[in-house]
Structure 1
Amino acid sequence: MMDVIVIGAGPAGLAGAIASANSGLKVIVIDEFIKPGGRLIGQLHQERSGEWWNGIEESERLHQEAITLSVDIRCGVSVYNLEKDGDLWNVHTSIGTITAPFVLIATGAAEYPIPLPGWTLPGVMSIGAAQVMTNVHRVQVGKKGIIVGANILAFAILNELQLAGIHVDRIVLPEKGPLSGKAGEPEEVMKSLLHAAHLAPSPLLRIGSRFMKNDWFRKTGMKFFPKNGVKVNGTPLLLRKAAIEVIGMKQVEGVRVADTDANGTIIPGTETVYEADFVCIAGGLYPLAELAAVAGCPFQFIHELGGHVPHHSETMETPLEGLFVAGNITGIESGKIAIAQGTTAGYSIAKHAGKCGAVIDEQLNQAIQNVRLIRMQAAIQFNPDIESGRRKMSELWEKLYEKPANLHSTQKLG
């Protein structure tokens, strides 16, 4: 029997497995993809320091470290249920039921779809799919493309596509409506982008962005936003144009767009067609938390964390004994933070298992501090108010679940 079952072989899952195994626990990691790494294996970008973040290399490092610690990694395995049976968790998978006293759910995030007419044509994909095809499978997604949706994820992957020699012609917004939400509202999009203004490619844009944080300047700026857009790494960002249809017979041939007013409302009679042979839809990310729900874990909707997230503490434990979470299931952040959270969860599991004595307390505290430090140093955040979201969850946990220190118990392993 295993001591720990980790669901998800992404950055959080692998890091959690490493910390648990390093503390003397027997760990198995399962993932439905054909190889470990999760979203890491699609990432490739240059950081503010000038160093390159190569997700494939980072995932390989974590994979090899886990193997060295005798972690059992099973890929191509799906989980469809998990349930508590006394002191043990039964995790039901496509290869049978696996049992252990501790489970770490590190299932990551999924992309929000933004449906629009013509989105089933060959050549239409999510922005994340374009990233994986480009960086993992080395497949050129097309020669001339359009991104529908403007957010931090879209801009990060735009740069990766450009590095691969793929031409992205324009970035436009989705049509305003209940399915696109704030992604179709120009002013809301601008507000979200201003949180990353320090990364703007020119001093003029960086200085101008400070003024745009003022409500009056921002509303005025939206009224007079350049018709030809503002270039992001050479690609025009058109905040006042909305995609209303992807056109083509057997595959993508272009995108029909229309001008909008400052509120995102379509202006009749302004339609035009931009030619393209591929379209990327960028709706953003949300926590992939279904398995925690199946397990019976309570949830809270916290907008700043990206949606519904399971109740969890800073040590990554949930209210269900033996169940832990880490990574984007707890809120949308970077791969580096997912790794730090996974490490925290691994040491937290080891502490609950009664391993390593006083040493584990120091390791756990250091891991928690590391999460805070990495978050503070992050150049950008997918959700700019992430600190507010984390505080909300911390306050909720303290209110509902905190106990005096002398009432905390640990679960011993034989």
Structure 2
Amino acid sequence: MIDVIVIGAGPAGLAGAISCAENGLKVTVIDEFVRPGGRLLGQLHQEPSGEWWNGIKESERLHNEAQKRSVDIRCGVSVYNLEKDKDSWNVHTNIGTLIAPYVLVATGAAEFPIPVPGWTLPGVMSIGAAQVMTNVHRVEVGKKGIIIGANILAFAILNELQLAGINVERIVLPEKSPLSQNAGEPEEVMKSLLNAAHLAPSPILRFGSGFMKNEGFRKLGMKFFPKSGVKVNGTPLQLRKAALEILGKDQVEGVLTVDIDVNGNVIKGTEKIYEADFVCIAGGLYPLAELTAVAGCPFQYVPELGGHVPHHSEKMETPLEGLFVAGNITGIESGKIAMAQGTTAGISIAKHAGKGSTDINEKLEQAMKNVHTVRQNAAIQFNPEIANGRGKIYELWDDLYGKELDSLQEIG
């Protein structure tokens, strides 16, 4: 019999499975990809300390740790429904229905699509797809590329493409529209990028970013932002240019761009075509939380967390008995934070199941503290207001469910 089913074999799911198994639970992990690791598989970057973060090696470490603890990992398994039946959860998959009293949903995040005319041409891909093709499958995505969209994820993967010897000619914005939203507004993009200014390759950029955080200086800076862009590891970041259309007959041949003002409005008569044989669209990430919605879990829209997230506590519980969450499904953050949350979820599940040692409460408190520590030391924050977002969702939990849980514990 299975005690815990973990949906998602990424950093949160694998860490959660290890934590559950360490506390005496029998665990099965399922994932639709052909190998475990999730988004870790594509990650390769240098930390501010100088050390390299190799996602493939990290995923192998987690995989080995899970196997040592007899965790059953099944890849190529897709989940299409999740429902509660008395004291157990039924997880309906393409290989049949799996049943367990506890489920940890660690499905991660997905990329926002930003429609650009011509985006169905061969050679157009999301920035995440370029990362996987380059770092996982070792496939060269092209010879000369353009990234449409400027955000923290785009910069991280730009560096990875450059390390692989792939030439990215420039980064431009998508055209301002209801679909592109803030991604098409230069000043809003600049505000988001300033929170990663400590990672900028140039001391001048790092120094200047301090002034740019002031609204007045930022507006002035955007007004005089060079049309040729500011180079990021050799690639021009052009915040005053937008992509109107991706051009090509049978595959990508170029991108039609136009100059834009500080508010993202098109300046007519400034159209220009840049040659390219591949285009990456970078729309950012949002929590991939549909399965918890199918299960009946209530949601809250928290923009600081990346979108709609399931109601959950700091112990990674949801209001549905036996259903837990961890990782980017709860808000967009790094793989290290996802692992810390997974560990917390595993200990929390063990506590609910009556497993673990006598110091299980102390372990849970320590795991939650570790999530805070890892977050504070994170080199990259996808959203600078993440702490406020976490505070909102935990305050919501206390308001809606805290008293109810306290009453149940008193009865018990």
TM norm structure 2: 0.98
* Counterparts of residues 153-232 of structure 1 (less than 5 Å): 153-232=153-232
Deviation (angstroms), 1:356: 2.0
Distance 2:349 2:215 in 1: 46
**1:29–1:72 Cα contact (<8 Å) kept:** yes
How many pairs align? 411
Distance 1:67 1:380 in 2: 30
Match of 2:140 in 1: 140
Distance 1:256 1:405, change over 3 A: closer
* Counterparts of residues 64-143 of structure 1 (less than 5 Å): 64-143=64-143
Match of 1:400 in 2: 400
Letter in 2 for 1:320: L
Distance 2:85 2:404 in 1: 27
Residues 347-386 of structure 1: per-residue CA shift (max 9 Å, x gap): 0000000112422112111111110000000112011110
Alignment partner of 2:359: what SS? helix
Distance 2:275 2:39 in 1: 30
Unaligned runs of 5+ in 1: none
TM norm structure 1: 0.98
Deviation (angstroms), 1:220: 1.0
Residues 179-208 of structure 1: per-residue CA shift (max 9 Å, x gap): 100000000000001111111222211121
Match of 1:343 in 2: 343
Deviation (angstroms), 1:4: 0.3
Residues 212-267 of structure 1: per-residue CA shift (max 9 Å, x gap): 11111111111111011000111000000000000011100000000001110011
**1:174–1:180 Cα contact (<8 Å) kept:** yes
Distance 1:134 1:51 in 2: 21
Match of 2:57 in 1: 57
Match of 1:259 in 2: 259
Deviation (angstroms), 1:139: 0.3
* Counterparts of residues 217-296 of structure 1 (less than 5 Å): 217-296=217-296
Letter in 2 for 1:130: A
Unaligned runs of 5+ in 2: none
Residues 38-84 of structure 1: per-residue CA shift (max 9 Å, x gap): 00000000000000000000000000111110111110001000111
User: Percent identity over the alignment?
Assistant: 77
Letter in 1 for 2:370: N
**1:173–1:183 Cα contact (<8 Å) kept:** yes
**1:191–1:213 Cα contact (<8 Å) kept:** yes
Distance 1:152 1:243 in 2: 19
Distance 1:62 1:344, change over 3 A: same
Letter in 2 for 1:165: G
Alignment partner of 1:403: what SS? helix
Letter in 1 for 2:39: R
Letter in 1 for 2:292: A
Distance 1:345 1:380 in 2: 23
**2:23–2:357 Cα contact (<8 Å) kept:** no
Distance 1:206 1:99, change over 3 A: same
Distance 1:206 1:76 in 2: 44
Alignment partner of 1:268: what SS? coil
Residues 307-360 of structure 1: per-residue CA shift (max 9 Å, x gap): 000000000000000000000000000000000000000000000001124221
Letter in 2 for 1:353: A
Letter in 1 for 2:158: L
Deviation (angstroms), 1:407: 3.8
Distance 2:223 2:120 in 1: 34
Distance 1:150 1:19 in 2: 37
* Counterparts of residues 8-23 of structure 1 (less than 5 Å): 8-23=8-23
Distance 2:43 2:125 in 1: 17
Q: Tell whether 2:4 aligns with 1:4.
A: yes
Distance 1:404 1:127 in 2: 44
Letter in 2 for 1:215: E
After superposition, the CA RMSD in angstroms is 1.3
Match of 1:332 in 2: 332
**1:352–1:409 Cα contact (<8 Å) kept:** no
Deviation (angstroms), 1:409: 4.8
